[in-house]
Amino acid sequence: MRSPVQETLPFEDLPEVPTASPWCQRWRERRHSWAHVRDGGFDARRYTVDVLPDEEPAKAFVLAHHYSGSYPAATVQFGLYDVVDGERRLCGVAVFGVPVSTAVLTKPLPELRPYTESLVCSRFVL
C-alpha cells in the first residue's frame, strides 16, 4: 500500500529523490514534508546570511527543527534570515564543527590545517 505522500510524488523510494527533481524535501519541527518548486521558489533577494556569534539562537533552531533533535559541538554557526518589511526572521542555520577524526578533513583537504582552516558541516537546517 502506498502512503499519501507516495500518491502525490512520482517516486517509490522516498529517501532517494533525484536532486534534479522539482520536489523539495522540507523539515519543520523534526518532521519532513514535500513541496513542489511551483509552490514557492527561492528568491535570494529576500535573504541574508550572518555569523551567529552566540550559539543559543542556532541551538534553539536546530533542536526545534532537525530530525535528530540534537545539537553538535560547534565551532562556528551561521544564520539564514528571511527579510520581510525590514524585519529579519531566522529561517535556517548552518553549524560547523570538529569531526570525530582529523582524517575526515586531512584526506580530502590535505593542504588545509584541520580545525582552523577546515571544519565539517555538522548541521544544515532550513
At 27-49, the pLDDT tens digits run: 778 887 777 777 865 666 788 99
* Of the candidate ranges 42-46, 74-78, 90-94, 122-126, the one whose mean pLDDT is the lowest: 42-46
8 Å CB contact between 114 and 77: no
Q: Where are the domains of the chain?
A: 1-41, 43-126
90 neighbors 56 (Cβ within 8 angstroms): no
What does the alpha-carbon distance between residue 66 and residue 72 come to, in Å, rounded to a whole number? 11
The answer to pTM > 0.85 is no
Nearest to 126 by CA among 59, 27, 50: 27
